[in-house]
Amino acid sequence: MPFSLLKYGLNKDYPFELDADLPRPTDLKSSYDVVIIGGGGHGVATAYYLAKYHGITNVAVLEKGYLGGGNTARNTAVIRSNYLTPEGVRFYSQSVEMFKDLSNEFDFNIMYSERGQLTLAHTDATVRAFRQRAEVNKHFGGRTELIGPDEIRELVPTLNMNPAHLPVLAGLWHKDGATARHDAVAWGYAKGATQRGVELHQLTEVTDVVVDNGRVTAIKTNRGTVKCGCAIQAVAGHSSLMAAKAGFRMPITTYPLQAMVTQPVKPFLDPLVSSSALHCYVQQTSRGEIVFGGGSDPYPLYNTRSTLELKESLLAHAIEMFPFMADLRLMRQWAGITDMTSDYSPIMGLSPVENYYLDAGWGTWGFKSTPICGKTMAELVASGGKVPALIAPFSMDRFDAFRQVNEMGATAASH
Amino acid sequence: MKIMHCPLNGPRNISEFVHGGEVKAMPDPANCTDHDWADYVFYTDNKAGVVVEWWLHAPSSYWFIAERHTVTDDIIRTYDPSEVFKQRVEFSTESDVSTEAGQMKLKGVGA
Ligand SMILES: Cc1cc2nc3c(=O)[nH]c(=O)nc-3n(C[C@H](O)[C@H](O)[C@H](O)COP(=O)(O)OP(=O)(O)OC[C@H]3O[C@@H](n4cnc5c(N)ncnc54)[C@H](O)[C@@H]3O)c2cc1C
């Protein structure tokens, strides 16, 4: 082991030189206009757009671990807008548009790569649902169409067209489907936000939310208490726990989601391929590794352990789709804890506490929405609580009005 | 494979069980407000710590109650619902909230 590495490892100081693009850590100020709880992609994107579009820079992002170390660093980076509901498609397609320009905007390569996403139908009912999704998508300007087995064979020659005795009848071909380097998205936003004066405080855990007369007045952390004009929670899997500190409950249950990656192989798979009947999606990274993901764990947990059961069931299906993969070795496995809503749509906007805003319920599908979440949450905060039309359907009180935005079929196994 | 102890069938693979959600008191469907009903159906405590939940042993269609820790993934105790529900809970749409027995049923607690 190089001596410098050993010295580095034994150093007591926080290794700030690793974040050469970020300012050195400072003490917390006694008060901020806006406190953002959670330094994942959503938190730093909100800070970035607050500074960039609204000139609001007296902002602190408080992160208990390190920048983007939550689900932002754990997701499989599927970016797409082929949802089912008009509310969903409208929202996600704006995010996809923003993604296309992020590398330019940051002057930093987020490795955005538009490969297209292919979802397989094995039953007539799925074919019918795909027709509807294709039409809704086209209506809102997306590039999505229903294709038959011949075109599927052409797009993915290595695919077994009769996996697990479930013949592939058709596919939903979404040309806008893409992937990007998830860490780079968090770094780009954090760099842009801090350059404009936002403070990012890592290793700063929010321990309580002080609510006085229905308004949040201060945020308590392990490094002291800060007063705030308003606060936003963007803590993904920890959403219910943070809401409890602010004194309310949410319609959320936290489940682990696992994923894994193989050793690198030669490029053979361009599109992202998924099948909800097989509870599985497969994609090849630009390094050649094959990423596998599937549905959530079967029961709620706040634990990122991996299980053999999930691996067995997921890989059995992946190997049905691409039999030659049976010879590959897994390199890494991991999990994140995800804040699931019952309708597979997010919870964004107002909360029961007047100046406390929610960006939650992102479950297994919130990486793709990072840019549009940041932009709309910033608008919400800057306007003092005027909910942007784009996110109005995702308000928490939709559940009280029984007005869910059902995206389950378009989300469960594709994220 | 993780093992869960079914109060009826003994130790079984966890894949034989289905998670059924938090044990909570049901408001009276006939008389409660929409908000109370939504709160019951959708909102959760979603605690990090010890939780009390309904679970189903699918092969035998047997519902029971489990206490487990959602951070350590330990199953602490499983037991038959009769430990909590001392009398049969009727799910009628008619209201009987006026009586004390009716109130007890709604709270899901026995004597
Ligand atoms: C395995 C996996 C695969 C996925 N695949 C996809 C995909 O392909 N496409 C897609 O769009 N989405 C996917 N997702 C979902 C996506 O990762 C998340 O929805 C998204 O990253 C949420 O971003 P965030 O910034 O809100 O949360 P996070 O990145 O989790 O950030 C929240 C932050 O809050 C911090 N925090 C929590 N509590 C506190 C506290 N008390 N004080 C201070 N900070 C706190 C955490 O440390 C964390 O860093 C996947 C998720 C997983 C786990």
Distance CA B53, CA B61 (A): 16
Task: Report the SS3 class of residue A305.
Answer: coil
pTM assigned to the model: 0.93
Domain count, chain A: 1
Mean pLDDT value across residues A232-236: 98
Query: Which chain A residue is nearest to residue B47, measuring alpha carbons?
Result: A241
Report whether pLDDT(A215) > 90: yes
DSSP-assigned states of every residue in A17-77: GGGTTSPPP-PPPSEEEEEEE--SHHHHHHHHHHHHHH----EEEE-SSSTT-SGGGTS--
Mean pLDDT value across residues A4-30: 76
Is residue A324 within 8 Å of residue A318, measured between CB atoms?
A: no
pLDDT of residue A5: 78
pLDDT of residue A20: 65
Task: Compute the distance from residue A70 Cα to the ligand 1 centre, in Å.
Answer: 5
Mean pLDDT value across residues B10-14: 97
CA of A84 vs chain B CAs: smallest distance (Å): 22
Mean pLDDT value across residues B67-72: 98
**If residue A95 lies in a helix (H) or strand (E), which one and from where to where?**
helix A86-100
Q: List the one residue out of A39, A350, A323 whose CA is nearest residue A204.
A: A39
**Domains of chain B with bracketed CATH:** 3-81 (3.30.2270.10)
The residue count of chain B comes to 111
Q: List the one residue out of A187, A193, A238 whose CA is nearest residue A360.
A: A238
CA of A276 vs chain B CAs: smallest distance (Å): 20
Tell me the one-letter amino acid at A240. S
Task: Name the residue of A49, A62, A75, A407 to mutate for ligand 1: max ligand atoms within 8 A of Cβ.
Answer: A75
Distance CA A284, CA B3 (A): 35
Which residue CA neighbors atom 9 of ligand 1 most closely?
Answer: A78
Task: Compute the distance from residue A195 Cα to the ligand 1 centre, in Å.
Answer: 23
Structure tokens at A68: 């983007």
Which residue CA neighbors atom 48 of ligand 1 most closely?
Answer: A70
pLDDT of residue B69: 98
Report whether pLDDT(A8) > 80: no
Number of CB atoms found within 10 A of residue A207's CB: 13
pLDDT of residue A1: 65
Report whether pLDDT(B1) > 90: no
Mind listing the pLDDT tens digit for each residue in A255-279? 999 999 999 999 999 999 999 899 8
- Helix, strand, coil shares of chain B, percent, nearest 5, are 25, 30, 45
Number of CB atoms found within 10 A of residue A62's CB: 27
Tell me the one-letter amino acid at A413. A
pLDDT of residue A7: 78
Is residue B26 within 8 Å of residue B108, measured between CB atoms?
A: yes
Task: Name the residue of A36, A37, A46, A71 to mutate for ligand 1: max ligand atoms within 8 A of Cβ.
Answer: A71
Burial zone of A262 (CB within 10 Å; 0-12 exposed, 13-18 middle, 19+ buried): buried
Residue A172: inside a domain: yes
Read off the CATH number of the domain in which A151 is found: 3.30.9.10
Q: Sorting pLDDT into bands at 50, 70 and 90, what band is A251?
A: very high
Report whether pLDDT(B110) > 50: no
Residues forming a β-bridge with B67: B52, B77
Containing structural domain, residue A280: 114-177+256-338
Residue A358: inside a domain: no
**If residue A380 lies in a helix (H) or strand (E), which one and from where to where?**
helix A370-382
Q: Sorting pLDDT into bands at 50, 70 and 90, what band is B109?
A: very low
> What is the dihedral sign for C-alpha A48, A347, A344, A317?
positive
CA of B37 vs chain A CAs: smallest distance (Å): 8
Mind listing the pLDDT tens digit for each residue in A136-171? 999 998 999 999 999 999 999 999 999 988 999 999
Contact A252 B44 (CB under 8 A): yes
Mind listing the pLDDT tens digit for each residue in A348-359? 999 999 999 999
Mind listing the pLDDT tens digit for each residue in A193-208? 999 999 999 999 999 9
Task: Compute the distance from residue A41 Cα to the ligand 1 centre, in Å.
Answer: 8
CA distance readout (Å), A115 to A169, A178, A413: 22, 5, 18
Q: Which residues of A touch B (CB under 8 A)?
A: 240-241, 244, 249-254, 298-303, 305, 307-309, 342, 399-402
- pLDDT top residue among A18 and A324: A324
- pLDDT top residue among A346 and B96: A346
Q: List the one residue out of A392, A413, A400 whose CA is nearest residue A87.
A: A392
Mean pLDDT value across residues A40-55: 98
Mean pLDDT value across residues B8-30: 95
Report whether pLDDT(B104) > 60: no
pLDDT of residue B99: 53
- pLDDT top residue among B104 and A348: A348
Residue A163: inside a domain: yes
Cα A367 from chain centroid (whole Å): 2
Q: Which of A249, A253, A301 faces B73 most closely, judged by CB atoms?
A: A301
Q: Which of B43, B44, B70 faces A301 most closely, judged by CB atoms?
A: B70
Q: Does B42 touch chain A (CB under 8 A)?
A: yes
Task: Name the residue of A235, A250, A273, A341 to mutate for ligand 1: max ligand atoms within 8 A of Cβ.
Answer: A235
Report whether pLDDT(A309) > 60: yes
Task: Report the SS3 class of residue A255.
Answer: strand
**Is any atom of ligand 1 closer than 6 Å to the C-beta of A358?**
no
Ligand 1 atom at minimal distance to the Cα of residue A334: 1
Q: What was the ipTM of the complex prediction?
A: 0.90
**Is any atom of ligand 1 closer than 6 Å to the C-beta of A364?**
yes
Residue A141: inside a domain: yes
pLDDT of residue B108: 47
Residue A352: inside a domain: no
Q: Which of A250, A302, A402 faces B43 most closely, judged by CB atoms?
A: A250
Contact B15 A240 (CB under 8 A): no
Residues of B in contact with A303 (CB under 8 A): 70-73
Report whether pLDDT(A12) > 80: no
Residue A304: inside a domain: yes
